[in-house]
A and B are shown apart, each in its own frame.
Chain A
Amino acid sequence: MARTPWRRPGRMVPSLLRSLFRHPATTRYPFVKWVMPEDFRGRPVVHTENCIGCKMCVRNCPSGAIDIEKVGEKQFEARIDLGRCVYCARCAEVCPKKTIELTKDFELAAFDRKTLKVVYDAPPPPAPAASPEAGPESDAGA
């Protein structure tokens, strides 16, 4: 690239003065909420009612963040350590039943490391007369 012979200081003045009258580019987060786009890899959520307990997610997780535990017949409980999770979505990819979904939730900072261990309860055992309900999910406290 040829060097322009005419060099002077203060080249940015027009651009600076324009910025003065423009709206600032700053987003006033956290007073203004920031929504991530679709398919953002945020906090993983396990829909335990579809889980079959194959533990493919446990085997494939790069950081050992997820654990599946059997609590009854066809009832599995999922524990995710959000501190260890790297949000790579490998568990969601390898699950044969597509049980795991990565939400758009990214505000996961907590004061206490224990609250980062999230438990997704197993669905209740199917009652003989009533129809089975979807299992409640316990939320991370943050």
Chain B
Amino acid sequence: MTVGSAVLSILVFPGFLFLVAFGLAGEFVDRKLYARLQNRQGPPWYQPLADFLKLLGKENVIPEDADRPTFRLAPVFALAAAVASILYIPLWSTTSVLPFEGDLIVVLYLLIIPTVAFFLGGWTSRSVFATIGAFRAITQVFAYEIPLFVALLAPALLANTWSISGIAAYYAGHPWLWLVNLLGFGVALVSLLGKLERVPFDTPEAETEIVAGSFTEYSGRRLAFFRLAIDCEAIVGASLVAAVFLPFGLGLSPALGILVYLAKVLFVLGILALLRTLFARLRIDQMVHFCWSVVAPIAFLQILINLVVRELI
């Protein structure tokens, strides 16, 4: 691809601008659905954009004891990693912008970086609440990351490829085979809740316990970028789950394909919003226990099923 089209892909579509716009829209959908499920009205469509612009205009306060370079760069790393990973996920065709064998692993790696950035941001803030939040964020990683990896591994095993685009192409060629992976879909959704730090797994950012967790000392544009990074991560995670577990309707005309893609992502976001409304927040020890005793075994079961199916085909 030429330099021009590469720059266009990274910065505009499906890169930075598209992801930011879709991220803000996704946050609106999530908040509106959350409110409607609670019999409330919910914010208007421009609310996430208004919040972002408002935060940009606020004063930037850096704590005296904080480690300044890391404190400043953490939000940037989080946002950059989230934006970079969209380039490897096929959105409505069977190829992404930069497909190669092994990009599944790269995307999973890139998606851990925001959590590490939250941890670093909280750790270098040198505030008690931020430290506790950072601890909890990293502890949570050990709980949900393994089931997520394993669950995403299962369709790759069946498709015999390490590339997300390859997975999409395989399932496009074998219709209805993706139904085998439904258990993995459930596991991936639960793990996505953990990655995005949503209820019931939002102990790193428990408002009533540790004020704002890792983000306690952040204000102004750095907080705006952190929140934008979470929104973009939500879209990327939803796109990844949709590409790996719901690989149907690919290969249609671009217009129809875009609609199918939007529908899939909104469906995933809708389920995440429903799960957010449904549960109370779990304590960190309860969360780790739940993930290792319930979620991880189901993920391994899915691998077993896929191995069996692979032999049968």
A25 near B40: Cβ-Cβ < 8 Å: yes
Q: Does A1 lie at the interface of the complex (its beta carbon under 8 Å from any beta carbon of B)?
A: no
Q: Does A16 lie at the interface of the complex (its beta carbon under 8 Å from any beta carbon of B)?
A: yes
**Residues 21-66 of A at the B interface (beta carbon under 8 Å):** 22, 24-26, 28
B39 near A9: Cβ-Cβ < 8 Å: no
A25 near B39: Cβ-Cβ < 8 Å: yes
Cβ of B273 to closest chain A Cβ, rounded Å: 10
Q: Mark B36-49, 1 if CB is under 8 A from A, else 0.
A: 11111110000000
Question: Which 9 A/B pairs are nearest by Cβ-Cβ distance?
Answer: A26-B41, A19-B39, A16-B37, A24-B41, A25-B39, A20-B36, A10-B278, A26-B40, A24-B40
B39 near A13: Cβ-Cβ < 8 Å: no
Query: Looking at the complex, which one of A16, A26, A28 makes contact with B277 (CB distance below 8 Å)?
Result: A16
* Given A16-B37, A28-B41, 9 extra CB contacts under 8 A: A10-B278, A19-B36, A19-B37, A19-B39, A20-B33, A20-B36, A24-B36, A24-B41, A25-B39
B290 closest partner in A (C-beta): A9
A13 to B279, CA, bound (A): 10
Q: Does B11 lie at the interface of the complex (its beta carbon under 8 Å from any beta carbon of A)?
A: no
A22 closest partner in B (C-beta): B39
Residues of A near any B CB (own CB < 8 A): 9-10, 12-13, 16-17, 19-20, 22, 24-26, 28
A10 to B274, CA, bound (A): 10
A10 to B41, CA, bound (A): 22
A17 / chain B contacts, CB cutoff of 8 Å: 37
A26 to B39, CA, bound (A): 8
A17 closest partner in B (C-beta): B37
Question: Can you list 16 pairs linking A and B with CB atoms under 8 Å apart?
Answer: A10-B278, A12-B278, A13-B278, A16-B37, A16-B38, A16-B274, A17-B37, A19-B36, A20-B33, A20-B36, A24-B35, A24-B39, A24-B40, A24-B42, A25-B39, A25-B40
**Residues 17-43 of B at the A interface (beta carbon under 8 Å):** 33, 35-42
Cβ of A122 to closest chain B Cβ, rounded Å: 48
A13 / chain B contacts, CB cutoff of 8 Å: 274, 278
B36 / chain A contacts, CB cutoff of 8 Å: 19-20, 24
Max chain B Cβ within 10 angstroms of own Cβ: one of A10, A17, A22, A24: A24
